[in-house]
């Protein structure tokens, strides 16, 4: 058995390919990570090498101590993952303090996990805590239409939530807690990781102004589906704005009725 043949690795590779086909991942844009389940780690044990050197993560994630992550490589193209998984993705193990990682499979020829690993791990850390360990996936994509909107809408969570909810009836059901917004920041470091993870306490989807989107989910399908739904809604809004703006829309009371029938709770602060 090879690591590439394990079900969770095949699923991961399929999502990277689907995300590439969506047009969200030019060049090395975007990155993807999955917190591997204990039973999947057990399947891996014979196939990995834990002797490699430790590298500081740059942030501290004590509740992820000894966890294993499947993650895309820094500078690697999402488009190439399906062609050569071992060169473009890898498995990183977090040390017992949650401060360092080591690569135990893949990322061959000295490759490293994504430069956004601090943002991924801090978001995983928060999500693990607030979902009782259920949430396992973080996807960062350069979503064209959401990025376009960050140039014209106020960089405000209430505005983004309400506008994206209004553009597709399924949106409040798919992301009932709303959308977080991080103002423009330098990517790849601890500062943007902290801001993003703060918002991940409340939201499953966080927009990085003029850069892209972070989506989280319990499964790879759910994280991908969330990204896809929010980005499609943003595409509709771009079209609506290009056609001269809304002439009618879904009202706050419509949302309240939807919430009742679909059994979701929508925060009143987004319905005012």
Task: Name the residue among 60, 63, 77, 206 with its Cα closest to residue 139.
Answer: 206
58 lies in the binding site for ligand 13P (CB under 6 A): no
Cβ neighbours of 131 (radius 10 Å): 14
Cβ distance to Zn ion smaller for residue 200 or 250? 200
Position among 158, 159, 177, 187 found at the interface with ligand 13P (CB under 6 A): 187
Classify residue 270 by its DSSP letter: G
> Is 25 annotated in some ligand binding site?
no
- Contact pattern for Zn ion over residues 197 through 216, marking x by CB under 5 A: ---------------x----
Question: Of the residues 67, 116, 163, 231, which is catalytic?
Answer: 116
Q: Taking CB under 6 A as the rule, does residue 30 contact ligand 13P?
A: yes
Concatenating the DSSP letter of every residue in 220-254 gives HHHHHHHHHHHHHHHHHHHHHHHTTS-SS---HHH
List the single partner that 176 binds among Zn ion, ligand 13P, none, CB under 5 to 8 Å by kind: none
> Could you tell me where the DSSP H helices lie in the chain?
7-21, 38-44, 78-81, 85-88, 117-130, 144-149, 157-166, 171-174, 190-200, 220-242, 252-262
> Binding to ligand 13P by residue 123, rule CB under 6 A?
no
Q: Known catalytic residue: 116?
A: yes
Which residues lie near ligand 13P (CB under 6 A)?
Answer: 28-31, 74-75, 114-116, 187-188
Active site residues: 116
Mark the binding-site residues for Zn(2+), compressed into ranges. Answer: 140, 142, 211
């Amino acid at each position: 058995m090879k690591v590439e043949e394990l079900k969770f690795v095949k699923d991961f590779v399929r999502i990277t390919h689907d995300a590439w086909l969506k047009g969200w991942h030019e060049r090395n844009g975007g990155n993807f990570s999955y917190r591997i389940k204990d039973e999947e780690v057990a399947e891996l044990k014979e196939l990995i090498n834990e002797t490699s050197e430790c590298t500081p993560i740059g942030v501290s994630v004590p509740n992820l101590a000894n966890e294993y992550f499947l993650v895309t490589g820094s500078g690697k193209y999402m488009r190439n993952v399906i062609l050569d998984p071992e060169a473009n993705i890898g498995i990183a193990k977090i040390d017992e303090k949650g401060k360092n990682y080591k690569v135990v499979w893949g990322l061959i020829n000295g490759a490293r996990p994504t430069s956004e690993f601090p943002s991924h791990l801090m978001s995983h850390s928060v999500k693990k805590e607030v979902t009782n360990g259920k949430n396992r996936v973080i996807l960062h994509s350069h979503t064209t239409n959401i990025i376009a909107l960050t140039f014209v809408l106020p960089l405000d969570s209430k505005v983004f939530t309400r506008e994206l909810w209004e553009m597709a009836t399924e949106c409040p059901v798919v992301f009932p807690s709303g959308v977080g917004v991080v103002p423009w920041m330098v990517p790849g470091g601890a500062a943007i990781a902290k801001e993003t993870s703060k918002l991940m306490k409340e939201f499953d989807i966080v927009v990085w102004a003029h850069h892209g989107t972070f989506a989280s989910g319990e499964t790879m399908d759910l994280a991908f589906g969330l990204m896809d739904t929010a980005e499609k809604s943003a595409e509709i809004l771009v079209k609506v704005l290009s056609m001269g703006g809304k002439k009618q829309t879904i009202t706050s009371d419509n949302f309240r009725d939807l919430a009742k029938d679909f059994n979701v709770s929508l925060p009143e602060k987004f319905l005012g």
